[in-house]
Amino acid sequence: MKRILFLVVLFASACSQHPSAEKVIFGKIWTGDDKQSVVEGIAINADTIVATGTRSDIQEWVGEGTVVTEAPSGGLVVPGFIDSHTHFVTGGLALLSIQLRDAKTREEFINRFKEVERLKPLLDQ
């Protein structure tokens, strides 16, 4: 990850002209790179970070269609970090239970119990 990010930044800085980014985020941004762990901005195309750097470096990526976002003051942007926050024991138990929250009718509610009873011999093996 660090090498890829470094290569992207190196390649972006070597090009004198580049296309505009789809998205730009300014603020305190953690990169995961030991040499430059925090930057002032990132430029993004599709699902790829194409550049990181100072605010002025990243400002060069802003074009007509670029969506620019300012991170909240005092906040920290952590690209790619997704916290699903599952507690394994309770999450596992929830998977073993009958899911009734989205049952829309009485029949659907009852059919879910019947389905569990039908599958119970397979689960007990």
Condensed to tens digits (0 to 9), the pLDDT of residues 97-119 reads: 888 889 999 999 999 999 988 88
Residues 114 and 60 grouped into a single domain: no
Query: Looking at 44, 70, 96, which one is the last position of a domain?
Result: 70
Q: Which parts of the chain sit beneath pLDDT 50? A: 16
Same domain, 24 and 59: yes
Q: What is the pTM of this model?
A: 0.53
The domain in which residue 58 lies consists of 2-70
Number of domains in the chain: 2
Judge whether 77 lies within some domain.
no
Q: How far is CA 50 from CA 1, 11, 15, 23, 56, in A?
A: 13, 9, 12, 10, 15
